[in-house]
Amino acid sequence: MKKATRSNSIANNNNGKTKSSNGSGQPVAEEGSCMLEKFFMDQLKDIYYAEQQIMKALPKMEDACTTDELKEAFTDHQHQTQKHIRRLEKVFTIMGEKPQGKKCEAIEGLIKEAESIIEETKEGSMTRDAALIIAAQKVEHYEIATYGGLVQLAITIGQREAAELLDKTLIEESDTDHMLTHIAESHINIEAEEESKYSSRRKDKERVADITV
């Protein structure tokens, strides 16, 4: 696919009119396009770093799961994340840049939250699975927001091939989010609630026994 050049886009947008200048001799439209492309690359580095951190975190989340269904979902997402990283590397190549990440504070915080959930919930409990799904969906929502924005930016700066690659990942992230919702609603949340009720009744019985003694 032939990439649209910045100069062609400016020429088309001006429709033959004289380009305005910012006072330094550089056309305003060209300057704005440069700034937007720079922001696009910045966000690309951000999500590249995020995907790599997610790859490191997923095995820990998988090991902590109670149900085989959620373990399988996290395993599948590891394979999917590897594919997303390769797609991002293709986008870097399209943009004429070497793939590199930029530390993403947002994903660092979300992963720390997932680690805290593992520490604070009981091993083998459905409550842990319910909490892990919420943690995973927070990550998915961050990715969906980022990829959605990147797709639109790629289209705006004339990088249609990059936009198509990023859109494939956006669709897959959305599918993963819906799958996690289905797993939670089909049985995990219900069983976690029953587990909580059982735990509460048990504590009540223990308190009554203590009073009787």
The domain of 101 spans: 30-212
Give residue 107's pLDDT: 97
Ramachandran bin of 121, using left for φ above 0, alpha for ψ from -120 to 50, beta for the remaining angles: beta
57 within a domain of the structure (yes/no): yes
> Residue 66 maps to which CATH number?
1.20.1260.10
2 within a domain of the structure (yes/no): no
The stretch 123-140 carries a mean pLDDT of: 97
The number of domains in the chain is 1
pLDDT digits (tens, 9 = 90+) for 70-96: 999 999 999 999 999 999 999 999 999
Alpha carbons 60 and 75: distance in angstroms, whole number: 11
46 within a domain of the structure (yes/no): yes
10 within a domain of the structure (yes/no): no
- Confidence category of residue 212, pLDDT binned at 50, 70, 90: low
Mean pLDDT of the chain: 84
Give residue 30's pLDDT: 60
172 within a domain of the structure (yes/no): yes
Alpha carbons 50 and 67: distance in angstroms, whole number: 26
23 within a domain of the structure (yes/no): no
